[in-house]
Chain A
């Protein structure tokens, strides 16, 4: 079940970045962290406390889920838990981007009117 808080209300920056990082495929914790850093051009650096705390709440809300446990060939031989978006997570990301577009449209309208 998707909780109202995460499905309807604006997402927190951490949740939005995690959803974005997972939108192109499943990743493990460190992979998500690096993708968030790349997506934000290094402006957002998420530590493990924020990352896993947000992921815990997102899993409770049904936005993401564990997908697999396997070795990442690009790293070491430890098995890692991978996470992926759920349908609800993809929908929440879409709704949030739509909300952003609306905000940008309003802001641009006002700026144009102001000029």
Chain B
């Protein structure tokens, strides 16, 4: 009985130790590692041997693994950040070069900084979410959501710089709803589906307000305003449906 209590305590401590692994590794192997440690403890108890020696050995051995995996994870992350930063810089060259040759292109420094942040943010979001990709529906959902979010954010930024109407900031609020939703969902398909539907609902409400109380929303005449909002609502809802499909496929 006493050894059962000790064994449970050692397993609980081991479970806490496993949390020091990088999250993707912990999600993939945490349960299996804890089970394996439990199996080793059971084997040891069956042989009527104490658990302390085994626990100390496994803890140290696992700690070495934790250091190794975290160091690998950091290297990969640094490489990803660098790659996305360079990719965003390459994308920025397009408007930069265009502004030199197109007479009506008058972006200030702020415009270029914003464009870079948009490119980098979208690229990093894709790179980080890509780790969770499996089902085609999930991949398509991520692609559609990011592309729609990017175009909407970009359009709002351009319109805001032209009209100087801060009311257009509300569209960044829609993107913030998606970002917070994705964070809360921990990138799980089911939660992402809800986040995308929430974005579609919020954008639809914004669209209704824009039609009822026009504030110089991005598409000018009333019909265009309604059509543009409808298009983006449809795209976000479509991405939500794709995540829902991925979630259902995962549950099967």
Instruction: Assess the B63–A56 pair: CB atoms within 8 A.
Output: no
Tell whether A80 pairs with B63 under 8 Å between CB atoms, given A30-B40, A48-B58, A75-B39.
Answer: no
Chain B positions 18 through 46: 1 when the CB is less than 8 Å from some CB of chain A, otherwise 0: 00000001001101110111011010000
Instruction: Assess the A48–B62 pair: CB atoms within 8 A.
Output: yes
Instruction: Assess the A29–B65 pair: CB atoms within 8 A.
Output: no
Q: Which of B29, B35, B40 is A78 in contact with, Cβ under 8 Å?
A: B35
Q: Which of B28, B31, B32, B64 is A49 in contact with, Cβ under 8 Å?
A: B64
Across-interface contacts of A28 in B (CB, < 8 A): 32, 35-36
Q: Which of B29, B62, B66 is A56 in contact with, Cβ under 8 Å?
A: B29
The smallest beta-carbon distance between A82 and chain B, in angstroms, is 10
The smallest beta-carbon distance between B77 and chain A, in angstroms, is 15
- Smallest CB gap from B57: residue in A: A47
> With A and B bound together, what is the CA distance between A29 and B38 in angstroms?
11
Decide yes or no whether B162 CB sits under 8 A from chain A. Answer: no
The main secondary structure of chain A at its interface with chain B is helix
Across-interface contacts of B36 in A (CB, < 8 A): 28-30, 33, 48, 51-52
> With A and B bound together, what is the CA distance between A47 and B18 in angstroms?
13
> With A and B bound together, what is the CA distance between A50 and B32 in angstroms?
13
Instruction: Assess the A47–B62 pair: CB atoms within 8 A.
Output: yes
Instruction: Assess the B39–A52 pair: CB atoms within 8 A.
Output: no
Instruction: Kindly identify, within residues 43 to 74 of chain A, every residue whose CB is under 8 Å from any CB belonging to chain B.
Output: 47-53, 55-56
Across-interface contacts of A75 in B (CB, < 8 A): 39, 42
> With A and B bound together, what is the CA distance between A52 and B68 in angstroms?
12
Decide yes or no whether A88 CB sits under 8 A from chain B. Answer: no
The smallest beta-carbon distance between B186 and chain A, in angstroms, is 20
Instruction: Assess the A55–B65 pair: CB atoms within 8 A.
Output: no
Decide yes or no whether B61 CB sits under 8 A from chain A. Answer: yes
Decide yes or no whether A11 CB sits under 8 A from chain B. Answer: no
Across-interface contacts of B66 in A (CB, < 8 A): 49
Instruction: Assess the B33–A50 pair: CB atoms within 8 A.
Output: no
**Chain A interfacial positions (CB closer than 8 Å to B):** 28-30, 33, 47-53, 55-56, 75-76, 78, 80-81
